[in-house]
Structure 1
């Protein structure tokens, strides 16, 4: 349909929104003696992915992830071995779904919503991370920024998804636990649905668009979207 209020296509962020990166905590605790280094690493990864896009440069997200891990190690004077890096890559490839993901996706699929994913990560060979997590059956398509060679929240990313689906950006609703992602999507003309997972919160400042849907877990967020659709 032509109106986002009647049948938006739901576009799901993958890392942290669907897949639980906190399962990397044991590795970071072993390497750094501090589980909080996981969040430091992830913040560096997001910062430098966006820096690369603003600078007109591109390196795949996975390679930036390894680079950000090494950067974090250098900052804290930790020596990484090749075995450490391989364990990091292996754990990243096997991050499981959050417990609320399958119930929420089931509700949305049963309510008739079209579901796709959009990730900063490059496409992977089968079995993909979504297949390993038992989520692939819910999504009709999986989009990666690798085809545009820019990272979210660049406008071209959301426009690419709309173009590939032959719709306007106004017919998309980006579902993410990162407010920078919903800001980018809404600035590009999409709706935004924000799940406030731990370590994520709203940004209250002038000209920052407030997400259309907000909830503390994905099941409740799905119910908000479904109820809005039926009202």
Structure 2
């Protein structure tokens, strides 16, 4: 472990796949198509790539709209034609994704230890407003920070630096927790420490920076900080 607990003054947390299970987005698809899991996997992958490409192209669309483009593409790849009304119904799942069981207790425990906690996300404000309510952390976190505030998607270091500014904390005194391997790496490039919350036992990437700490859930982070 390379995590320096003594440096930590503020905690930022990713949203999708860290607080909410994006795999649950396959649920509404199962009501309409047979190969829902395959479509949902490509849908998620494409939406993340589109955000990175927005950075590269110097353009911006909200994450909700990027998800719309990604869903349409995924359906087209699988030769599925759905009317716009049904696409809107499927997209609305992003306002009601499944919450991981340890989220409220974990975030509350971090706050009880005295750490300010912020959600730092690719999601647009409307998505994040729904997210913190369904995760039942809207009364616990200090605030949520949206990509829409600077139009730079993860893993651009500008978003993490903006997050540090909003949290009024130097980047080196922030630890960012994320289930996304590219996300903790982006935070590290901005000078933060990065914890990879490997919730689904993924094989670590060979390419790129290594996390300062790997955990399966919030309990391990809480216990480590308690000992400190």
| Aligned-residue RMSD, C-alpha | 2.0
Q: Distance in 2 between matches of 1:199 and 1:39?
A: 17
The one-character-per-residue Cα deviations of 1:60-98 (angstroms, maximum 9, x if unpaired) are 100000110000011111001223222123211111321
Q: Secondary structure at the match of 1:5?
A: helix
Instruction: State the alpha-carbon separation in 2 of the partners of residues 200 and 38 from structure 1.
Output: 18
CA contact (8 A) 1:214 1:221 kept: no
Aligned-pair CA distance for 1:20: 1.8
**Bigger Cα displacement from structure 2, 181-190 vs 102-111:** 102-111
Distance (whole Å) between structure 2 residues aligned to residue 105 and residue 194 of structure 1: 16
Q: Is the 8 A contact 2:20 2:97 kept in 1?
A: yes
Matched, 1:14 2:15: yes
Aligned partner of 1:222 in structure 2 is 222
1:109 maps to 111
Match of 2:101 among 99, 102, 105: 99
Name 1:26's counterpart in structure 2: 27
CA contact (8 A) 2:122 2:153 kept: yes
2:213 aligns with 213
Residues 88, 214 of structure 1: alpha-carbon distance in 2 compared, 3 angstrom cutoff: same
Instruction: Please state whether the residue corresponding to 1:11 is helix, strand or coil.
Output: strand
Shift in CA distance, 203/125, structure 1 to aligned 2, threshold 3 Å: closer
Shift of 1:105: 1.2
2:195 and 2:64 mapped to 1: Cα distance? 26
Q: Take 1:202 and 1:120, find their aligned partners in 2: how far apart are those partners?
A: 22
Q: Equivalent residue for 1:67?
A: 69
Q: Distance in 1 between matches of 2:225 and 2:155?
A: 22
How far apart are the structure 2 equivalents of 1:57 and 1:171? 31
